Structure 1
């Protein structure tokens, strides 16, 4: 019976240890000795990123004291940005000179760079470090970019780094109506992402359309003069 009692005591002690993490008992030379409470490991709980529209973002800044952090590249930031915001780009211009980068940069500049005015960039390796040098983990940050993708990616990085009060504008600055924020730059906030040939495509189409319409009307109402002009044109 004594053996059974010891066995039962050991089993109960084991079960008790599983249920109670702060106290453990162990047999020591026929007696018991209480251990010190066990410290539980602190677990980091990440807060969810708050996605808001432009009007809600304005209230976060004005009422709750959120600081605005612009994570766009320098070209878009220089075209237009919210007044008194902070700027830490998630992507920076890639000026590496290895062969692979040179080829990619050349292809990019001849297509995306030419038509859309997009710089050839790479991920900013010092992004989190730069943000931490200006803000504490408990700081309230409103992240903004042009379309909303970079700000969401930046929010995930900062969340993993310990920041817990983060908000982003859904769809980015392209969805912000003029006058919502005081801005600085040569264009409106929603147009800061527009550059390259696409910005003049509409104007070119309008001019070409006007020329063609005028030519059609000229040929229709002045056929003789139009025929003479065609005869004067050099033969190909």
Structure 2
């Protein structure tokens, strides 16, 4: 597609003869890894790269080129706002394991990141690729989206390695999408779907207060004896 600014890939050709080996490198769009042999001991190697586009280019991919949208965010962000008629397969799922190490990590997470940022405690989805393939054929054109662009990049890489032939991502994720760009479902705008927890309280004073409350909660949780001594020093009303 002209004018989209898509990333390109390299096409490398090598030819062996009595005079030595000659290498030719060409630029090509949307190539995939297709090892093969040419007559006369020539070899052909194609390497694919995921396309990175902005929101307007992504909209064109969907409307004009027929790309399917795959949302890889967690269920909470997805329910707040998502592109209409998209597929949803989270790259990470909630970690409900109950081994001692996981319980400690989950407690720490819920008392800080979970409380302050509203983030669930998760682990990689072991069924991610299989779940995607059950809904979207590998030969399909797929636009992978997440909130910040990190999970979609990781998901696109996994899908490309699993045989998907045409994968694209939105640079910086849905947080960079202006309202009205896509038809959406949910109570929030796409760019605000990642906002939760104490950070949603407006104002610097509220942010500082939230940080103090989190620190106080952690102190009381992990140092109850010391906290009780401090409370005893507070004058009675």
Higher relative contact order structure (alpha carbons within 8 Å, sequence separation ≥ 6):
1
Residue of structure 2 equivalent to 1:160: 161
Does the 8 Å CA contact 1:46/1:164 hold for their aligned counterparts? Answer: no
Residue of structure 2 equivalent to 1:128: 129
Residue of structure 2 equivalent to 1:66: 67
Residue of structure 2 equivalent to 1:212: none
Does the 8 Å CA contact 1:69/1:144 hold for their aligned counterparts? Answer: yes
**Cα distance, 1:47 vs structure 2:** 1.9
CA RMSD of aligned residues (A): 2.9
**Cα distance, 1:164 vs structure 2:** 1.5
Does the 8 Å CA contact 1:46/1:159 hold for their aligned counterparts? Answer: no
Q: Aligned in 2, Cα 1:85/1:44: closer, same or farther, shift over 3 Å?
A: farther
- Secondary structure at the counterpart of residue 109 of structure 1: helix
- Secondary structure at the counterpart of residue 152 of structure 2: helix
Q: Aligned in 2, Cα 1:204/1:83: closer, same or farther, shift over 3 Å?
A: farther
> 1:97-134: CA deviations, max 9, x gaps?
10000000000000000000000000000000001111
What number of residue pairs does the alignment pair up? 178
Residue of structure 2 equivalent to 1:180: 181
**Cα distance, 1:235 vs structure 2:** 9.8
How far, CA to CA, are the matches of 1:155 and 1:45 in structure 2?
18
Residue of structure 2 equivalent to 1:199: 200
Which structure 1 residue ranges, 5 or more long, are not aligned?
1-14, 20-37, 209-233
Residue of structure 2 equivalent to 1:189: 190
Q: Aligned in 2, Cα 1:47/1:173: closer, same or farther, shift over 3 Å?
A: same
Structure number with bigger Rg: 1
> 1:52-107: CA deviations, max 9, x gaps?
00000000000000000000011100111011110000000000010000000000
Q: Aligned in 2, Cα 1:44/1:116: closer, same or farther, shift over 3 Å?
A: farther
Does the 8 Å CA contact 1:92/1:124 hold for their aligned counterparts? Answer: yes
Residue of structure 1 equivalent to 2:88: 87
**Cα distance, 1:205 vs structure 2:** 4.0
Residue of structure 2 equivalent to 1:35: none
**Cα distance, 1:46 vs structure 2:** 4.5
Higher helix fraction: Structure 1 or Structure 2? 1
Residue of structure 1 equivalent to 2:143: 142
**Cα distance, 1:187 vs structure 2:** 0.7
- Secondary structure at the counterpart of residue 123 of structure 2: strand
Higher strand fraction: Structure 1 or Structure 2? 2
